[in-house]
Amino acid sequence: MFKILKESSTSNARLGVIETPHGLIETPAYTIVGTHAEVKCLTPSDLVATKTQLIIANTYHLWRELGDEGLANYPGLHQVMGWSGPIMTDSGGFQVFSLGAAREQGTGKVKKMNEAPHSPEENLVRVTDAGVYFMEDGEEQYLDAELSMRIQEQLGADIIVAFDEPTSPHHDYAYTKESLVRTHKWAERSLEAKVSNQLIYGVIQGGSFPDLRKESAEFIGRLPFDGFAIGGAFGDSFGSEKAEMIAELESSIPFLPKDRPRHLLGIGRVEDLFIGVEAGIDTFDCVIPTREARHGSVWTREGRFDLKKSIFENDDRPIDPSCDCPVCLSGEVDRRSLRQLFKDKDPRAGELATVHNVYFFNNLMADIREAIKNDSWADLKKQYLKKNNEAGTLEG
């Protein structure tokens, strides 16, 4: 199922391949988010043209949209999406956090330095040891490990994920420990409930507490999962969320079996990719390429910038002069004309920017694979990170 082709001599980076019923995934790889069984603004042919290898869909949202009858008659994600490549589904566990603690505490998964909390909202989740109750339209909807497995099997993804409870960066040690016990029990129940031939990943949690992350990696690593998904509750106790992420990976990865793939959940900025790959991560998923494109932010080798800014109103350069994505190669738009499309609220703006961004991240992963193969990792890292300002939007 997973084969390591080469390991870096200077880090934990590794070149590999994951075999699925719908094709091979060359790793390290980016997983493009298709929450509602579609990658917004992209057609199936766009996905191929942007070098997409793997898509992840959201179990919770599809479950709520389809209902029991819709799921029973669902033809499968591949047919619905018109996509013949590999697909992954999450477990619905992230919504335990996003609709629960995240709302109640006014926080995100990544708590940045000096970040002001969001306005707290009503917690829509009630967590029990058996499962989770979500408040939907005045009624509670119940989801547990067994139901998550049934839903993911009916969706028909190649890779599915065990049900878990992600914690908040504001949760204390006692609650994180309690939650970890639940996640581990749910992992065992997920394995017992699974009846399909789909690949299944177990989830490592433990917040920002090194002993809990080690405990989780060792526990989940002993179970017969086909791979591992690493969750996080990245905070600022080390001075920055990047340092926290590194610490959490170092508390998890060394205690996992080396012969199975590792997926980093919900993380995928440029600097994150280099950090993760160096630590031994094989696949990543994140909404950044698609969500930011729809709002006018594009990623290039020169950095990330917001095309809606006035500084680009007379800029006739391609989005990225060094890019060979379909948009940049076609000459159909330059920065000035794409900015105008966003200003006019033309839907083509989001489509063109999405094609570019998805290609950029997938192409970056292809460059990373080549660098591991050729032992040119340090040069590639310097090339991408020298001008790519992760702190904010570049001005040109």
CB-side exposure of 112: number of CA atoms within 13 Å? 6
Query: How far apart are the C-alpha atoms of 2 and 178, rounded to whole Å?
Result: 32
* From 90, 144, 272, 306, the catalytic residue: 90
- 157, two tokens: 């993804």
Give pLDDT, residue 65: 95
Residue 215: helix, strand or coil by DSSP? helix
- Decide if domain 93-147+166-197+206-255 falls under CATH 3.20.20.105: yes
Measured over the CA atoms of residue 37, residue 43, residue 45 and residue 48, the dihedral's sign is negative
Give pLDDT < 70 ranges for the chain: 106-119, 233-241, 387-396
pLDDT of residue 233: 55
Active site residue 164: no
Residue 236 a catalytic site member: no
* pLDDT for position 108: 59
pLDDT at position 265: 95
Residue 285 token pair = 């998923």
Catalytic residue of the set 144, 158, 285, 320: 285
Residues of the chain above pLDDT 90, percent: 79
Q: How far apart are CA 327 and CA 307, in angstroms?
A: 15
Instruction: Look at residue 114 in the predicted model and tell me its pLDDT.
Output: 47
Report d(CA 49, CA 359) in Å as an integer.
8
Could you tell me the residue ranges of all domains in the chain? 93-147+166-197+206-255, 298-385
For the chain, percent helix, then strand, then coil, each to nearest 5? 40, 20, 40
Question: Which pLDDT score is estimated for 124?
Answer: 87
Name the average pLDDT for the chain: 91
Q: Assign 3-class secondary structure to 123-181.
A: CCEEECCCCEEEEECCEEEEECHHHHHHHHHHHCCCEEECCCCCCCCCCCHHHHHHHHH
